[in-house]
Amino acid sequence: MRIVTNSSAETEALGERIASRLTGGEVLALFGPMGMGKTAFTRGLAHGLGVKGEVSSPTFALVHEHAGKIPLYHFDMYRVASWDDLYSTGFFDYLESNGVLVIEWSENIEGALPETAVRIVVSPGEMEDQRIFEIEGLEL
Ligand SMILES: Nc1ncnc2c1ncn2[C@@H]1O[C@H](COP(=O)(O)OP(=O)(O)OP(=O)(O)O)[C@@H](O)[C@H]1O
Ligand SMILES: [Mg+2]
């Protein structure tokens, strides 16, 4: 499925629509370079899951936990360069939980992603504020 957004707000709305399809236990693997709206998408996702707090990039913490109707675990794998790094984020423990995992910079942990992961590749569109979301493994 291919979805084009034309603003950060539209990307958040897409995240919210996707949240309405989730029941817990899903892994959403986000791919795409800096500034593509991965965090914006996650903000909408969080809102849709009933998360109350702020959503920011977990660049230093590597993972942020958000309580919602379904717990949301938000990873940023930008700095993850080895299996040891990945273990230390608690990724494998979170995989066993019934929460939703959303993973920025999935490029860096490709080999550790479950086969069932929903893959979301974000790329720039023709216009400055345009983003193209290619979503595999989930229907809207
Ligand atoms: N269609 C769009 N969707 C999302 N963000 C957009 C869009 N158009 C413009 N933007 C802008 O692009 C930026 C996206 O920032 P965001 O932090 O969500 O990116 P990111 O992919 O998480 O980057 P990083 O890899 O650094 O974490 C914001 O400044 C936002 O305003
Ligand atoms: Mg981000």
**How does pLDDT run across 58-113, given as a tens digit for each residue?**
888 899 999 999 999 999 999 999 999 999 999 999 999 999 999 999 999 999 99
Residue nearest ligand 1's atom 3 by CA: 8
Q: Residue 18: CB within 6 Å of ligand 1?
A: no
pLDDT at 51: 97
Map out the domains of the chain with their CATH numbers. 2-136 (3.40.50.300)
Q: What is the pTM of this model?
A: 0.97
pLDDT tens column, 3-53: 999 999 999 999 999 999 999 999 999 999 999 999 999 999 999 999 998
Ligand 1 atom nearest to CA at 41: 18
Residue 116 to residue 96: CA distance in whole angstroms: 13
What is the number of H-type helices and E-type strands within the chain? 4, 7
Cβ proximity of 7 and 130 under 8 Å:
no
Residue type, 74: H
Positive or negative, the CA dihedral 17, 22, 24, 30 is negative
Kind and range of the H or E element at 43?
helix 38-48
Residue nearest ligand 1's atom 30 by CA: 8
Of the bound ligands, which one is closest to the alpha carbon of residue 57? 2
Ligand 1 atom nearest to CA at 36: 21
Q: Residue 34: CB within 6 Å of ligand 1?
A: yes
Q: Residue 127: CB within 6 Å of ligand 1?
A: no
pLDDT at 136: 98
Q: Residue 37: CB within 6 Å of ligand 1?
A: yes
Q: Residue 108: CB within 6 Å of ligand 1?
A: no
pLDDT at 9: 98
